Homo-oligomer: A and B are copies of this chain.
Amino acid sequence: MRENKYMLIYNELADKIQKGKIESNSMLPSEYILAEQFSTSRETIRKALNLLSQNGYIQKIKGKGSVVLDVKKFDFPVSGLVSFREIAESSGKAWRTNVHELVLVKPDETLCQHLKISGKEEVWQVIRSREVDQENIILDKDYIRRKFVPTITKDICEVSLYQYFEKNLGLVISFAKKEITVEEATEEDYKYLDMKEYNHVVVVRNQVYLDDTSLLQYTESRHRLDKFRFVDFARREHR
């Protein structure tokens, strides 16, 4: 692995904090001391510490030092940009993906808006439901620009689209805009999900961008109400 020095330091410290090898509420060594310990400069240490701070591992206090926060990171499901597979696997529950549709389409008007493209461009439509503990609780509707992804197979859809994009196609997913709302369930939801008595779903709309800022994919993730959970760590912007 060609790892940056500050990333190595970040990973080492994050790992120790997560595993409790560094106690929460204790103080990290000062930046000067860390710089010495890792035989590096203070600015490099600071890069690592700022990452820890951004991700909720520590709190830096001017004049005092860096306090280790108590992270229960095994607690986060949908924060940031993570695929269903990554979440499902880390949760340890039995899960399965059912592929209902995998076709090339010309986008209609709303879809053009979401994908910011013309109606002539071809787009993959993938419809999948996610089964956890024998219940279909999430309906994922993915629309992917064929321009970036020439072929998709059913097998790929059952494992992970993201993994395929990144490992096999070399696409670098960089950022996303996410919107969460609650809407009335559609016929599609009733068809593919085990809806029980619920008549609404949580809808997570996602626009996924590559590192060259082009829009790769639009995704609608529809969750049964009782199975939806989103957790987030946020720092306040002071102005």
Contacts and interface: CB of A to CB of B under 8 A. Distances in A.
A232 B177 CA distance: 6
A174 B230 CA distance: 21
A120 to B, nearest CB: 21
A233 interface: yes
A28 interface: no
Nearest to A80: B234
Contacts of A231: 177-180
Contacts of A155: none
A93 to B, nearest CB: 17
A163 interface: no
B236 A182 contact: no
Most interface-central of A56, A79, A175 (chain B CB within 10 A): A175
Main secondary structure on chain A at its contact with chain B? strand
A182 B202 contact: yes
Interface string A178-195: 111110000000000000
Interface in A83-140: none
A59 interface: yes
A220 to B, nearest CB: 15
A141 to B, nearest CB: 19
Interface in A152-202: 172-182, 200, 202
Interface stretch (A31-39, A142-150, A221-229): A221-229
Contacts of A59: 174-175, 209, 211-213
Interface of A: 25, 56, 59, 61, 67, 69, 79-81, 172-182, 200, 202, 209, 211-213, 225-226, 228-238
28 contacts: A25-B213, A59-B174, A59-B209, A61-B211, A61-B212, A67-B213, A69-B213, A80-B234, A81-B234, A172-B238, A174-B235, A175-B233, A176-B233, A176-B234, A177-B231, A177-B233, A178-B232, A178-B234, A179-B231, A179-B232, A180-B232, A181-B228, A181-B230, A182-B182, A182-B202, A182-B228, A200-B225, A232-B232
